[in-house]
Amino acid sequence: MSETILTISLGYAQIALALAGCLVGTRILRGPRAQDRVLALDSLYVSIMLLFLVTGMQLGTAFFFEAAMIISIIGFVSSVALAKFLFRGEVIE
């Protein structure tokens, strides 16, 4: 019984998060401006991080947790670097 509930809800969550990643991905492709793409990349990182967490729960291993944490940290660093680039890189120089 509990296995059925968990399988269904985790399966739903995986589909929903993958769909969220795809929707955010269309924004990376569509733009229209650089800041839209950076913001989309940041949300893509969050969606994929949540997808990793949910997959880890479905498989019952704590392995995916480390991956999720690394994704969240790298996502932060890269988004900040890109935002900083938008500040200084393109417009002023």
Partner 1 sequence: MSPLATVPLIVAIPVAFFVVLGATLTLIGALGFARLTSFYDRLHAPTLATSWGTGATIIASALMFSFIDGRVILHEFVIGFCIVLTTPVTLMMLGRAALMRDRTEGSDALPEDMRRRRDPAADTPAGD
56 binds partner 1 (CB under 8 A): yes
Phi/psi of residue 91, each to 5°?
-80, -40
48 binds partner 1 (CB under 8 A): no
Q: Which residues bind partner 1 (CB under 8 A)?
A: 1-3, 5-10, 12-14, 16-17, 19-21, 23-24, 26-27, 33-36, 38-40, 42-43, 46-47, 49-50, 53-54, 56-60, 62, 65, 68-69, 72-73, 76, 79-80, 83-84, 86-87, 90-91
